[in-house]
C-alpha cells in the first residue's frame, strides 16, 4: 500500500512523509490549517501557498514549504501534488503517485463553491481517502444562497429592533464566509480576537474581505448595538458575549440541521451552514472519482462505509485522530478582551 494507516497518521513509506500526522514526524504534508489536521512538532511542513500564513499564525515559525495547486513535487521518487478541497482557504486534497498507483487524501472537503476556498476538484485515483463528518442522509444542505439569505434576514431584523446580532462561527473557515455574507448588508462588523487575528493574517496575505473591527474594551457599546459581532463557539454563554446586551445569538454550523443539537445549545437561532460536504456531496464525489477502494475516516465512518459497500463500492472504515466537530476550539481563547 502506497499509503499506510499508522498510529502517527497516514504514512507514505516510499516517500517518507505523513499526511496530517497527529504525532510529531520528520516530514508532514498538511491538507489545511485546522488544528486537528495541522499539529505542532513536525520538522518539515508542506502545504498550499494560501495555507502557509495560517500555519504561521497557529504554529509559529517552522520549516515550511508551500506550493500552488496542481504543481508536482517529488519525495524519493513519489509524486505529490495538491488540489482544491473547497473546505477553507488553502485547503487541499493530497494526490500521491508512485509506480502507477494513485492515492488521493481528501482532508476535509466541501463540494459547493464558496468562492473563497477554491472550487473542489474531483481527482481520479485508485484509492480515495474520504472524510465523513456529515456522512448521514439527514445532512443535506440548502444552497449557499438560501443559507446566506436566512442569516442576512435575521441580522437585518435584529438591526431594525436595535438588537446586536452575535454570530458564532469557527474562526477559520466559517467566519470568513459569514463575514462575506453579512458584509453585503453594509452594517459595521465587530469580531472576537480569535476571528480578528485570522482576518488580519488574511488581509496581509492580500485577501479582500469586508472591514472587521476587533472588539476591545475601548469601543463604546453604542457603536456595536444593532450591528454584527462574529465570535467562535467557545464564546457562547460567556461574559464576553453578555457585554453586547441587548443581543441575540446564532450558531452557524452543519450540526444545526438537527433539531436536538439546536435545542441543546442555548441560542436564539441556528443556521446549518457547513464547510463540509453533505451526504449527497460525499456520494456524488465518490461516484465521480470511482476509485477501486474508498477509505472512510473521521465522522460517521461505519455508517458511510457500510452504505458504500452495500451500493457496490469497495470501502473500508479507518480510525484516525481527526476531530469530527466543526468547531475544534483548542486554539480559540475566550479570555481575550
- Name the minimum Å distance from CB 275 to Zn ion: 7
| Nearest distance from C-beta of residue 245 to Zn ion, angstroms | 33
All 3 cell numbers of residue 299? Answer: 465522522
Between 268 and 321, whose beta carbon lies closer to Zn ion?
Answer: 321
Q: Among residues 108 and 236, whose Cβ is nearest to Zn ion?
A: 108
CB 232 within 8 A of CB 195: yes
Beta carbons within 8 Å of 148's beta carbon, 6+ residues apart: 181, 273
CA distance 109 to 48: 15
Nearer to Zn ion, 118 or 226 (CB): 118
Residues in a beta bridge with 105: 94, 129
CB of 322 to Zn ion, least distance (A): 4
Q: Could you tell me if 28 and 17 are in contact, meaning their C-beta atoms sit under 8 angstroms apart?
A: yes
190 near 265, Cβ under 8 Å? no
Pairing of strands 189-191, 228-231: parallel
Q: CB of 29: closest distance to Zn ion in angstroms?
A: 15
Nearer to Zn ion, 166 or 286 (CB): 286
Q: Residue 107 or 226: which CB sits closer to Zn ion? A: 107
Q: Which is nearer to Zn ion, 227 or 305 (CB)?
A: 305
End-to-end CA distance of the chain: 50
Cβ closest to Zn ion, residue 90 vs residue 193:
90
For residue 302, the tally of other CB atoms under 10 A from its CB is 12
Find, among 38, 42, 63, the residue nearest to 51 by Cα: 38
Q: What CA–CA distances, in Å, run from 9 to 101, 224, 276, 290, 328? A: 20, 45, 21, 24, 19
Nearer to Zn ion, 91 or 241 (CB): 91
Q: Grid coordinates standing for 205?
A: 496575505
Q: At 134, phi and psi to the nearest 5? A: -115, 40
Nearer to Zn ion, 34 or 83 (CB): 34
Name the site residues for Zn ion (rule: CB under 5 A). Answer: 34, 108, 322
Amino acid at each position: 500500500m502506497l499509503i499506510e494507516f499508522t498510529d502517527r497518521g497516514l504514512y507514505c513509506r516510499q516517500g517518507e512523509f505523513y499526511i496530517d500526522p497527529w504525532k510529531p514526524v520528520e516530514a508532514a504534508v498538511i491538507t489545511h490549517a485546522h488544528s486537528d489536521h495541522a499539529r505542532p512538532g513536525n520538522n518539515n511542513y508542506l502545504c498550499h501557498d494560501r495555507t502557509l500564513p495560517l500555519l504561521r499564525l497557529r504554529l509559529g515559525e517552522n520549516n515550511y514549504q508551500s506550493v500552488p495547486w496542481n504543481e508536482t513535487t517529488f519525495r524519493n521518487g513519489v509524486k505529490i501534488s495538491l488540489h482544491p478541497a473547497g473546505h477553507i482557504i488553502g485547503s487541499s486534497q493530497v494526490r500521491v503517485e508512485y509506480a502507477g498507483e494513485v492515492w488521493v487524501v481528501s482532508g476535509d472537503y466541501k463540494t459547493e463553491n464558496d468562492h473563497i476556498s477554491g472550487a473542489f476538484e474531483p481527482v481520479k485515483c485508485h484509492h480515495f481517502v474520504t472524510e465523513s463528518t456529515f456522512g448521514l442522509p439527514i445532512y443535506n444542505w440548502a444552497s449557499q444562497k438560501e443559507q446566506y439569505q436566512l442569516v442576512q434576514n435575521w441580522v437585518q431584523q435584529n438591526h431594525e429592533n436595535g438588537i446586536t446580532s452575535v454570530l458564532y462561527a469557527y474562526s477559520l473557515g466559517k467566519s470568513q464566509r459569514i463575514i462575506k455574507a453579512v458584509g453585503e448588508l453594509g452594517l459595521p462588523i465587530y469580531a472576537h480576537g480569535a476571528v480578528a487575528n485570522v482576518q488580519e493574517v488574511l488581509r496581509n496575505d492580500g485577501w479582500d474581505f469586508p472591514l472587521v473591527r476587533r472588539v476591545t474594551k475601548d469601543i463604546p457599546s453604542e457603536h456595536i448595538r444593532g450591528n454584527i459581532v462574529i465570535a467562535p463557539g467557545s464564546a457562547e454563554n460567556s461574559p464576553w458575549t453578555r457585554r453586547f446586551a441587548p443581543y441575540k445569538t446564532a450558531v452557524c454550523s452543519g450540526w444545526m440541521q438537527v433539531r436536538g443539537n439546536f435545542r441543546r445549545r442555548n441560542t436564539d437561532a441556528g443556521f446549518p451552514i457547513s464547510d463540509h460536504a453533505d451526504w449527497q456531496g460525499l456520494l456524488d464525489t465518490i461516484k465521480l472519482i470511482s476509485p477501486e477502494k474508498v477509505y472512510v475516516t473521521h465522522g460517521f465512518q461505519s455508517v458511510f462505509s457500510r452504505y458504500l459497500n452495500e451500493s457496490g463500492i469497495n470501502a473500508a472504515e479507518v480510525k484516525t485522530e481527526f476531530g469530527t466537530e466543526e468547531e475544534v476550539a483548542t486554539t480559540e481563547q475566550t479570555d481575550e478582551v
